Amino acid sequence: MALDATTGARVALDDARGRTVILHFFATWCGPCRAELVLLQEFADRRDDLITLAVDVGEVDARVKRFAGEIGWRRPVLLDRDRAVARAFGVSALPTTIVLDATLTPRLIAEGDLDWRTTAVTDPIVTLATPTPDGRRQACIDATC
């Protein structure tokens, strides 16, 4: 998967191999998405070990850029203009969050908005991202990464 970002850069998911990735699918018209993205950013700001990517589904670039600026989003916003990536991940509702392990395998999927202030939401992700005593990520125990 590779998508254009609102910055003009092209972001390839394969570049994140070896790290835990949060893919957050949203749209600017989605009311719960706005509040959730603010909380997700606060969580992501505390977690340098995670890659957090917001993926806008099927909207006009300028609208997405404006929205990201309004909510103060500071991470990449990827543009899934034709919804191909959302379809590939089986996204049928917004917001949807998919957490990929270090092998880029989906490990956690949540449809609907999440409260990123709660440990019920964040602890499974932190566990997935935390290295084992030998320095490998949880997903790397059974796979090469």
In degrees, rounded to 5, the angle at the alpha carbon of residue 52 between the alpha carbons of residues 51 and 55 is 130
Name which of 128, 86, 84, 92 is nearest 111 in CA terms.
92
CA distance 30 to 94: 7
**Containing structural domain, residue 24:** 2-6+17-116
Q: List helix spans (H) across the chain.
A: 31-45, 61-71, 84-88, 119-129
Within a domain: residue 142? no
Within a domain: residue 123? no
pLDDT one digit per residue (tens) for the chain, 145 residues: 899 999 999 999 999 998 999 999 999 999 999 999 999 999 999 998 999 999 999 999 999 999 999 999 998 899 999 999 999 999 999 999 999 998 999 999 999 999 999 999 999 999 888 876 666 555 544 444 4
Within a domain: residue 145? no
How many structural domains comprise the chain? 1
Within a domain: residue 98? yes
